[in-house]
């Protein structure tokens, strides 16, 4: 699964900033995503489509979520000389993440060949039904205007924007639980 996430994320401007060397990018991203996915297995959950073309990684921030075990060491091993960029992005995310209880969509990844086919929407809708029934809000960081617009269509509202040092934008976005209609 970390391979599909790395494949989906590698073409994005954020990935190019994190790992400027295109030959190292997918490997470093895959190794870093392995840390996040393993951590989500304990402090959240992962949804993967049957054909492995899309995945969503959620963290359940209903109480404190500790960092991954030996995170600094593992991050250095995964990212090598690019570790300072990953740490910078982590710090930005930590600074903008709300304190209110919520589920955090850390990653929504659709392989490039499957983008625009509704797979990301299917994963969002699946988890949003649960959140709506449980009355739990959701939070995410959108990494492009296209992603921001997708999430807006799913009920997320931009809270504030922030940028990487190269100007790559992010939007912190919040979604209140939607009323469920019983038939």
Alpha helix stretches (DSSP H) within the chain: 2-9, 13-18, 22-43, 71-79, 83-96, 119-134, 145-153
Tens place of pLDDT per residue across the chain (183 aa): 898 899 999 999 999 999 999 999 999 999 999 999 999 999 999 999 999 999 999 999 999 999 999 999 999 999 999 999 999 999 999 999 999 999 999 999 999 999 999 999 999 999 999 999 999 999 999 999 989 999 999 999 999 999 999 999 999 999 999 987 655
- Rounded to 5 degrees, φ, ψ at 106 are -75, -35
Tokens of 123: 């994963």
**Residue whose token pair is 């799913």:** 154
Residue 125, CB-side half-sphere exposure with 13 Å CA sphere: 7
């Amino acid at each position: 699964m970390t391979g599909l996430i790395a494949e989906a994320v590698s073409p994005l401007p954020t990935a190019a900033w994190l790992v400027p060397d295109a030959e190292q990018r997918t490997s470093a991203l895959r190794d870093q995503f392995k840390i996040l996915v393993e951590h989500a297995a304990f402090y959240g959950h992962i949804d993967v489509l049957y054909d492995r073309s899309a995945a969503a990684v959620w963290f359940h921030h209903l109480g404190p979520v500790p960092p991954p075990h030996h995170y600094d060491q593992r991050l250095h091993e995964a990212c090598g000389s690019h570790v300072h960029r990953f740490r910078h992005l982590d710090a930005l995310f930590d600074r903008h993440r709300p304190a209110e209880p919520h589920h955090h969509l850390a990653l929504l990844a659709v392989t490039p060949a499957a983008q625009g086919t509704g797979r990301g929407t299917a994963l969002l809708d699946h988890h949003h039904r649960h959140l709506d029934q449980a009355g739990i809000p959701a939070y995410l960081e959108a990494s492009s205007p296209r992603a921001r617009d997708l999430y807006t269509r799913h009920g997320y509202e931009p809270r504030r924007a922030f940028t990487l040092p190269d100007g790559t934008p992010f939007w912190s976005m919040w979604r209140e639980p939607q009323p469920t209609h019983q038939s």
